[in-house]
């Protein structure tokens, strides 16, 4: 499907893969979730109007608090920022689109349907009520038994899958598609902030994916990780906060990028200390992974590590100081224009400073003992995360003219800011004053009633302020004055150099910064080859056969027009959503009876709805995935892009390596969990559950399959079709052999030794069985995924594919070898140690 | 440009099989190796196997060095999580 319907067609918005369309979809959907989370916030504030109020039951209050946190952190803040990132990062780097347009659409639809799943969870016996941090053991079915709780966990899992795809996409785009002459240090500050954000996301969200998978396993399959007395709760803390602290900056950095952009535009001054600001952003990104245990000061982790984490936490405030001073000094040196975008950006800085300072208190162990679990924490993180995000509303006003071609109403914008700022401080500063109120408890000391009532009034004011913005945007879109291409006096990024809104493929000719400023150059396109650079007269010029020319020549379909539409992202996401909806109630709807032998194994279906949804979703997923692979969708790389530091690495290969890096963290988290739990239980108190021989056999099987995959690649390079088919076929056979040995091994454990996920005879511990089955099971799922891809390749190779272009075989090999490497470590961990 | 030599890949494959078997041997003969020695030997063998697979089968040896740094960064973070979390309960 290559034709893109017009914007007036609903179909356009279902099939589009264009980055600007996806950006608009993200922005509007995120604003919907702002309303969703906002209504929950107002319910919370109504409950707190009076310490004896009964607006909600205790359970409903807990659900509202949990869903409010989850929605605002995951479904509003970052997606709102990534709406702008989708729209403007490709424009700011001079690209035609993101590197993988279909993957971009998939990320959006995963995001949307995951939000739908979360909404549905309210109607599945109540959603999760364990707080947005989902601390163990509150997060296990014993304490949160509703199907909706599982639904919310799976919704988060689905969201993270979409985020992972988006992360890989942005990293590949920024490192692969920058216009000629645009070095990393030349990138606009908003793009820089997004680059730092996605680098953090690559690793942080992989940890969340792992911990989400483990929790899903506890809830759906019945493993006992987070209820284990061998450190289950602490394990959650470590894995969650390894993600959770970088997440603070993941949320804040895009807003910081908007702030940096807007301060420059509305002070008419280039950012002071620009190089040092970029260095600070990089430093913070690294440091964000070194502080996570300051969220665990009240747990039983030892004092030495707490002290170390206190030091690293204080250390992270230093580069932030530099950022703040750079922003302030830029204003001092410039001539400020007090427009609505600037007011929001400046307000964000003030709010963030207060949030940052109050956070330093929490980084000190002794003070944290006092403040932890109180409204101090609630106030602090709202000032940081929502305070920072205030700049995003500035971004909305700033870029509204570019996205719509219309100018917003400046007066209404300023009214919005004033009402927003007063409401914000009324609701959140009152929390500092009533800080002794225990967090997440709906009854409180009547002495704080005045402060809480002020907070409630502030919350309604804050909520109402957004309707001013919605009205302003709607009115301006319908009947506002034309904004022109560039309504700002001192904007300097590339999006302002083209029409408002920009055309589908962004540029009149190829953007280039080779001369030091933005130019649109016309390339020479010979018959039978890719575009080459042209001189002023339009004649081809040679550039010595550099790496990107070779890179383009690898694309045999160079003369095709780029595609902008595909139905498969939405269908793939829909199928995933249906499958996960089914899985949410799977455990409650089925009973597995193992019996004494395999012949006695039976499944009792108590409620057919959820298992049916699971099966339908899974089949739909496989079907849509297959069609996705077979679709003729063309998204060529930029022809003369700057690629540092990944020069010479082909686009899809680079994306694959980013994905594998993220998968290293996923498996790293699973292996860390196994080591952590075993260390807690006493390392030598565990004997391997399975015999070593089947593990060794499977090691040989997987190593041999890696060898056959590399032979397949060699055959593809040599255009040896029979060799290619034989090698892929052998790989499949070996993959099935691996699964057969694994099945036999599990059969023996279950039927001979009586060991299952949480059912063990004397001599074993339930958590050991859980760790063994879940970790090796996850690996087996990877093998199954690889086999599905191998089957796809086999069918395509049989039809004659990969003779001209063997790269898909290489990409599959990268994945398959990675699965092999994981087994290299799982074998000793579970079969030998 | 990555190698297309079947001979090279076969040699790597044989080395991987030998290393895999060595891990098994470490733990099958406790009269020769203490648990600590077997553990260390196995981890060294696993590390060498990983390097061989990544370097040759995944062609990282011939790729831009930045890809190697990317994977080392991911590995380092995973090790940090494991080591720091485990140390926190000692």
CA A110/CA A624 separation, integer angstroms: 14
B interface test, pick of A241, A243, A296, A707 with most B CB neighbours within 10 Å: A707
Place of tokens 């319910």: A43
**Chain A partners of B79 at a C-beta cutoff of 8 Å?**
668
Domain boundaries, chain B: 1-58, 62-90
- Whose tokens are 């001079």? That residue is A94
Residues of A in contact with B78 (CB under 8 A): 664-665, 667-669, 671-672
| A707 interfacial to chain B (CB closer than 8 Å) | yes
Q: Considering only CB atoms, which chain B residues are within 8 Å of A654?
A: 67
Contact list, A174 vs chain B (CB under 8 Å): none
Q: What's the confidence (pLDDT) of residue A119?
A: 98
pLDDT at A5: 95
Number of other CB atoms surrounding residue A795 within 10 Å: 14
Helix (H, G, I), strand (E, B) or coil at A602: strand
Give me the mean pLDDT over the A356-366 stretch. Answer: 94
Q: Give pLDDT, residue A524.
A: 66
How many Cα atoms sit within 13 Å of A246 on the Cβ side?
27
Residue whose C-alpha is closest to residue A385's, from A422, A354, A360? A354
Check residue A546 and give its pLDDT: 47
**Nearest alpha-carbon partner for A388 in A488, A189, A250:** A250
Name the burial class of residue A742, with classes exposed (0-12), middle (13-18) and buried (19+) by CB atoms within 10 angstroms of its CB. Answer: buried
Contact A694, A745 (CB under 8 A): yes
Region A755-762: mean pLDDT is 89
Helix (H) or strand (E) holding A517: none
A273 φ/ψ sector (left φ>0, alpha ψ -120 to 50, else beta): left
Q: What percentage of chain A has pLDDT greater than the value 70?
A: 95
The C-alpha atoms of residue A226 and residue A310 are separated, in whole angstroms, by: 26
Chain B nearest-CA distance from A109, in A, is 28
A626 vs A639: which has the higher pLDDT: A626
Q: Are B71 and A657 within 8 A, CB to CB? A: yes
State whether B58 and A665 contact (CB < 8 Å). Answer: no
- CA-to-CA separations, A724 to A515, A718, A825, in angstroms, rounded: 47, 9, 29
CA B73 to chain centroid, in Å, comes to 16
pLDDT(B65) > 90: yes
Nearest C-alpha in B relative to A242: B81
Segment A271-312, tens digit of pLDDT: 999 999 999 999 999 999 999 999 999 999 999 999 999 999
Q: Report the alpha-carbon angle A205-A208-A210, nearest 5.
A: 115
The answer to whether the CB atoms of A833 and B50 lie below 8 A apart is no
What is the C-alpha to C-alpha distance for residues A656 and A187, in angstroms, rounded to an integer? Answer: 24
> A818 contacts in B (CB within 8 Å)?
58
Q: What is the residue-averaged pLDDT of chain B?
A: 95
- Where residue A97 falls (left for φ over 0; alpha for ψ -120 to 50; beta otherwise) is beta
A698 touches chain B (CB under 8 A): no
- d(CA B58, nearest CA chain A) in Å: 6
What value does the mean pLDDT take over residues A553-574? 81
Contact residues, chain A, for B90 at CB < 8 Å: 302, 679
pLDDT band for position A707 (50/70/90)?
A: very high
Q: Which 3-state string (H, E, C) describes A312-325?
A: HHHHHHHHHHHHHH
Q: Which letter, b or e, does each residue of A601-616 get, where b requires 16 or more Cβ atoms within 10 Å of its Cβ?
A: eeeeeeeeebbebbee
Q: pLDDT category, A783, cuts 50, 70, 90?
A: very high
CB contact under 8 A, A207 and B86: no
Whether the bond between A773 and the residue before it is cis, its omega within 30 degrees of 0, is no
Flag whether pLDDT at A556 surpasses 60. no
What's the predicted TM-score (pTM) here?
Answer: 0.96
- Shortest CB distance from B50 goes to which of A660, A709, A821? A821
- Helix then strand count (H, E) for chain A reads 25, 4
DSSP designation for A2: -
Q: Given pLDDT bands bounded at 50, 70 and 90, which one contains residue A547?
A: very low
CA distance A741 to A676: 28
Q: Give the residues across from A392 on adjacent strands.
A: none
CA distance A314 to A424: 27
Q: Which two tokens stand for residue A542?
A: 């040679």
- What band does A544 get if pLDDT is binned at 50, 70 and 90? very low
DSSP A72-118: IIIIIIHHHHHHHHHHHHHHHHT-SS-S-HHHHHHHHHHHHHHHHHH
pLDDT attached to residue A545:
43
């Amino acid at each position: 499907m290559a034709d893109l319907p017009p914007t007036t067609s609903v179909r356009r918005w279902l099939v589009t893969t264009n980055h600007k369309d996806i950006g608009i979809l993200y922005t509007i959907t995120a604003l919907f979730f702002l309303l969703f989370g906002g209504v929950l916030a107002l319910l919370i504030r109504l409950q707190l109007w009076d310490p004896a109020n009964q607006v909600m039951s205790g359970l409903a209050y807990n659900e509202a608090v949990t869903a409010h946190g989850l929605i605002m952190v995951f479904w509003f803040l970052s997606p709102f920022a990534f709406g702008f990132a989708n729209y403007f990062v490709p424009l700011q780097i001079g690209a035609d689109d993101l590197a993988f347009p279909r993957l971009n659409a998939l990320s959006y639809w995963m995001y949307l349907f995951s939000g739908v799943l979360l909404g549905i969870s309210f109607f599945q016996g109540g959603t999760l009520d364990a707080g947005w941090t989902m601390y163990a053991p509150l997060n296990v079915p014993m304490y949160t038994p509703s199907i909706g709780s599982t639904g919310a966990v799976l919704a988060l899992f689905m969201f993270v899958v979409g985020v992972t795809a988006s992360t890989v996409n942005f990293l590949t785009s920024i490192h692969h598609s920058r216009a000629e002459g645009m070095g990393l240090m030349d990138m606009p500050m908003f793009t820089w902030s997004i680059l730092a954000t996605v680098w953090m996301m690559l690793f942080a969200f992989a940890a969340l994916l792992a911990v989400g998978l483990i929790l899903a396993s506890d809830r759906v399959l019945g493993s006992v990780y987070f209820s284990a007395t061998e450190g289950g709760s602490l394990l959650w803390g470590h894995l969650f906060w390894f993600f959770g602290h970088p997440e603070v900056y993941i949320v804040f950095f895009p807003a910081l990028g908007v702030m940096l952009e807007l301060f420059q535009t509305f002070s008419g001054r280039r950012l002071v200390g620009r190089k040092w600001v970029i260095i600070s952003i990089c430093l913070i990104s690294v440091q964000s992974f070194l502080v996570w245990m300051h969220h665990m000061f009240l747990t039983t982790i030892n004092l030495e590590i707490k002290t170390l984490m206190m030091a690293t936490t204080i250390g992270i405030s230093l580069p932030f100081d530099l950022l703040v001073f750079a922003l302030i000094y830029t204003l001092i040196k410039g001539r400020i224009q007090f427009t609505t975008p600037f007011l929001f950006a400046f307000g964000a800085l003030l709010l963030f400073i207060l949030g940052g300072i109050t956070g330093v208190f929490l980084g000190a162990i002794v003070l944290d003992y006092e403040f932890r679990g109180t409204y101090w924490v609630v106030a602090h993180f709202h000032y940081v995360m929502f305070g920072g995000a205030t700049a995003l509303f500035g971004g909305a006003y700033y870029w509204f003219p570019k996205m719509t071609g219309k100018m917003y109403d400046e007066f209404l914008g300023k009214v919005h800011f004033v009402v927003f700022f007063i409401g914000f401080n009324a609701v959140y500063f009152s929390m500092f004053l009533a800080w002794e109120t225990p967090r997440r408890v709906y009854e409180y000391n009547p002495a704080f009633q005045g402060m809480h009532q002020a907070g409630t009034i502030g919350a309604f004011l804050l909520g109402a302020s957004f309707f001013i913005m919605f009205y302003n945007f709607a009115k301006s879109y319908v009947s506002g004055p034309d904004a022109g291409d560039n309504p700002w006096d001192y904007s300097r990024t590339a999006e302002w150099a083209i029409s408002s809104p920009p055309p589908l493929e962004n540029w009149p000719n190829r953007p280039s910064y080779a001369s030091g400023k933005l130019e649109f150059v016309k390339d020479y396109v010979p018959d039978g080859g890719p575009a080459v650079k042209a001189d002023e007269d339009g004649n081809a010029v040679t550039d010595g056969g550099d790496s990107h020319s070779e890179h383009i020549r690898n694309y045999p379909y160079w003369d095709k027009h780029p595609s902008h539409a595909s139905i498969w992202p939405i269908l793939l996401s829909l199928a995933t959503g249906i499958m996960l909806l089914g899985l949410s109630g799977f455990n409650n709807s089925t009973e597995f009876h193992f019996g004494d032998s395999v012949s006695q194994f039976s499944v009792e279906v108590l409620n057919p709805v959820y298992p049916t949804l699971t099966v339908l979703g899974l089949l739909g997923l496989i079907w849509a995935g297959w069609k996705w692979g077979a679709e003729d969708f063309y998204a060529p790389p930029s022809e003369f892009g700057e690629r540092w530091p990944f020069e010479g690495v082909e686009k899809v290969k680079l994306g694959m390596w980013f994905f594998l890096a993220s998968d290293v963290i996923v498996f790293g988290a699973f292996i860390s969990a196994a080591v952590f739990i075993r260390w807690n239980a006493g390392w030598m108190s565990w004997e391997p559950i399975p015999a070593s021989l089947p593990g060794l056999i499977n090691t040989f099987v997987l190593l041999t399959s890696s060898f056959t995959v590399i032979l397949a690649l060699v055959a593809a390079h040599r255009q040896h079709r029979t060799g290619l088919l034989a090698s892929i076929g052998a790989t499949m056979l070996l993959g099935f052999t691996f699964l057969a040995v694994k099945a036999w091994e599990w059969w023996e454990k279950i039927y001979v030794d009586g060991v299952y996920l949480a059912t063990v005879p004397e001599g074993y511990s339930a958590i050991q069985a859980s760790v063994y089955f879940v970790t090796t099971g996850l690996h087996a799922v990877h093998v199954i995924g690889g086999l599905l891809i191998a089957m796809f390749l086999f069918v395509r190779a049989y039809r004659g594919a990969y003779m001209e272009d063997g790269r898909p075989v290489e990409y599959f090999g990268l994945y398959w070898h990675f699965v092999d490497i994981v087994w290299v470590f799982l074998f000793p961990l579970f079969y030998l140690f | 440009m990555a190698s297309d030599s079947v001979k090279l890949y076969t040699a790597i494959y044989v080395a991987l099989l030998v290393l895999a078997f060595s891990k098994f041997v470490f733990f099958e003969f406790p009269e020769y190796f203490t648990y600590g020695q077997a553990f260390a030997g196995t981890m060294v063998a696993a590390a060498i196997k990983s390097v061989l697979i990544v370097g040759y089968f995944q062609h990282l040896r011939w790729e831009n060095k930045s890809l190697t740094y990317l994977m080392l960064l991911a590995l380092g973070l995973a090790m940090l999580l494991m080591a720091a979390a485990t140390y926190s309960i000692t």
